[in-house]
Structure 1
């Protein structure tokens, strides 16, 4: 009986505790590790209750404290994103060398770009690495800056060509003297999204043409991988395709003549005949000749002439050929296979 009583009392107390437990709601989600450290430190200092979920990227607090704590976090400026931004200059230390100031500026610029790019819907986190050469007094000796962008994409999301171009333009316009052909973009899975060598093939393309090029390359890559999966195994093959496409608009006009295919277009025919008499006696008359008693010989003459003019029409064929846009001029294909393979011996 005593044991049963203890069990009932324990269950009753557990039910009371369960009913009185606070209902936790999301304070912030998808936080960077730096933000999580700052916010949890602030909550610990205020002795606020909280829980972490989703591998520490989501902070939950009691429901009745959500809005108050959000205001407090905003006042403290605890959410600044990954890396350090221009707030690094809020506290300028006296006696900093030019080298330290340059490094701080580079860190701040990298952090600000990373925060901006992380706002893209498909991007969870972005890290920027800049190389900012020292300015030279001589133009011919001045080295060009460069940038490398590493992106961690949201699970199940991917960047399209327009978003990649937006990142390229954003970085190139944010760094003084940075050309787009000195920018490289990759994701955390090792997939190269943009490299300088791709810029020549993308230069001058419209958004529609660029999307067509990327879609074509991705479709060919997928078909190659699907073809090799049954033999090599899924996840052990990576195919990369670079398509050189011709988007120039060409119109070819041809006129072809067939000399054997002649057709009479018009014909003109004329006939002419003449008839008359001629004196058969030749020579000059005497000076005192009066013409009396002329009995010279006469002959009858006649003639005819015929002419014909025929105009022919030569068979002519006209063609106007409009070349299709996006014809494949060249395909470059690379396939990486996981594992070591040996050629089988022929029987």
Structure 2
């Protein structure tokens, strides 16, 4: 190491100013690249903590991470933390109620004091707390990313009849995709069950991503039933026809028009001929009357003692009254018919079948349409399978047309290559830095090391002790004159490489030894050409 340092300094001194700048820049670039790679390798792997938070919730989470002195990265609306600490941070933040996407809940009532709080203030705070709790419950679903609930409570007044109806509106932001009708109905029933006097029909659910109001399942019941019935009929007819004409050689389309109205009919039928006595009541009344007889009117009857004369002349009367009451029960039939929405008004069916294909011996394809008798048979099968009713206005069309020749299905999978798959941007940066470092090492380290061997060989020629050779003075002068007289040799002398220049300088400094060495080489060559 000590012996190589002087050689390094000597080489640096021998370089020009431009070469020194290039070498210094290469050394700095290599140092920076190695430092960056070491930093990237030492950095912890970051994992997603939360994403899709609103500004307030994200600020609360970042503040909590700063209090814990935890490293984090904010990338758009996502927060990343070291992968080894992610699960622990989620649990600890959940213990603090973070992130609070649904707003404040019943803890809002804790800040209210009994003094100075009016009933209106308490009602407003309670409504806000109820909205926050409902939003928290809705956000607990993995399909919902954010939710806002607004309640409009109906208030009773002294001059108001019946009071105002309570209503609610819910704005939902789905985590991915959109919201379906079933999810909207679930939110409606959740809100309606939590608020007294609120009907599910008075709850409006809005998809914040699409900006539309999601209708209830009752509104789209008729259409969904129509589509479901049409799909079922189409599949049944398709399976029935393909059993005859072959798979993929029949196309069926079914359109079902349904009645969206519902109807309830109540019928009461009474049969007077089928009466039955269920109760009979007989009442009998007997009345007895006793009094004087009618007698003749005479002078004696008008005398004071006339009544005594008629004491024995009296009459008795008895009256009997009988009353009978019978209750009858007649036969009564009560019928109630409920016609649900979705009754079929009209049905249209279109069937397209391929003809008969025959392959000739020479390989040509001959197509023949199916006969009318066969098409009528297929139409009769379709009528039986779908419940076709001509009186209702149903239509059926069966045609035989030529289908195009099916091609090869699928495509050949391409070769992903040497670096197939998905590569992240950070991996590309790391690979690029490695390539730059390898290139710098190859150009500025390996290449000089490979060239060092040639320089060492020339240095060995310069420092090696050559045997003393005697060269005549006239030979040296003749060689010098020959070089000076030949301009091509002079130009060649100027274009030779520095190692050859140093070699020539060494020969001039040791002319005697060089001449003797050249003479011995020439004599050896002559001896080989002219053997004795």
- TM-score (norm: length of structure 1): 0.55
Name the CA distance, whole Å, in 2 between partners of 1:59 and 1:128.
Answer: 26
Inter-partner Cα distance in structure 1 for 2:148 and 2:179: 17
Distance 1:213 1:146, change over 3 A: farther
Aligned partner (choices 125, 132, 135) of residue 111 of structure 1: 132
Report what 2:212 is aligned to: 191
1:127-180 Cα offsets, whole Å, 9 max, x none, are 111111334457724211111122222332331x33222222111111111122
Q: Give secondary structure in 1 for the equivalent of 2:111.
A: coil
Deviation at 1:32, TM superposition (A): 4.4
2:118 maps to which residue? Answer: 97
Which residue number corresponds to residue 236 of structure 1? Answer: none
1:245·1:328 contact (CA, 8 Å) conserved in 2?
no
Contact kept, 8 Å, 2:179 with 2:207, in 1: the verdict is: no
Tell me whether 1:75 sits opposite 2:95 in the alignment: yes
C-alpha RMSD over aligned residues: 3.5
CA 100–48 in structure 1, closer or farther in 2 if over 3 Å, else same: same
Distance 2:144 2:259 in 1: 29
Task: Provide the secondary structure at the position in 1 that maps to 2:148.
Answer: strand
Once the two structures are TM-superposed, the CA of residue 327 in structure 1 deviates from its matched residue by 2.9
Q: Contact 2:259 / 2:341 at 8 angstroms: preserved in 1?
A: no
Which structure has more relative contact order (CA 8 Å, sep 6+)? It is: 1
Q: Deviations over 1:200-255 (max 9, x none)?
A: x57xx7xxx78536879xxxxxxxxxxxxxxxxxxxxxxxxxx85257799xxxxx
Structure 2: runs of 5 or more not aligned: 1-22, 230-257, 266-338, 347-532
- Identify if the C-alpha distance between structure 1 residues 210 and 106 changes in structure 2 by more than 3 Å, giving closer, same or farther: farther
Cross-structure match for 1:212: 225
Query: Structure 1 residue 187: deviation in Å?
Result: 1.5
Question: Which TM-score applies when normalising by structure 2?
Answer: 0.37
**Residues 215/114 of structure 1: CA separation in 2 closer, same or farther (3 Å cut):** farther
- Which protein shows a greater Rg? 2
- Structure 1 unaligned segments of length 5 or more: list them: 217-242, 251-322, 331-347
Q: Verify: 1:162 aligned to 2:178, yes or no.
A: no
CA 1:66–1:154: 2 relative to 1, 3 Å: closer
Q: How many residues of Structure 1 are paired with residues of Structure 2 in the alignment?
A: 222
1 CA distance for matches of 2:259 and 2:183? 21
Per-residue Cα deviation, 1:85-139 (whole angstroms, up to 9, x for no partner): 1121233345222222111111111122122222334332221111113344577
Go from structure 1 to structure 2 and tell me whether the alpha carbon gap of 1:138 and 1:327 turns closer, same or farther (over 3 Å shift).
same
Which of the numbers 27, 30, 46 marks the counterpart of 1:8? 30
Kindly tell me: are residues 3 and 17 of structure 1, through their superposed partners in 2, closer, same or farther at Cα, counting changes over 3 Å?
same
Using a 3 Å threshold, how does the CA distance of structure 1 residues 211 and 38 change in structure 2: closer, same or farther? Answer: farther
Determine if contact 2:170/2:206 at 8 Å carries over to the other structure.
Answer: yes
- 1:117 and 1:215 map into 2 onto residues whose CA distance is 30
In 1, distance between residues paired with 2:130 and 2:84?
Answer: 38
Taking the aligned partners of 1:249 and 1:45, their CA distance within structure 2 comes to: 67
Higher mean displacement: 139-148 or 4-13: 139-148
CA distance in 2 between counterparts of 1:36 and 1:214 reads 44
Which structure has the highest strand share of the two?
1
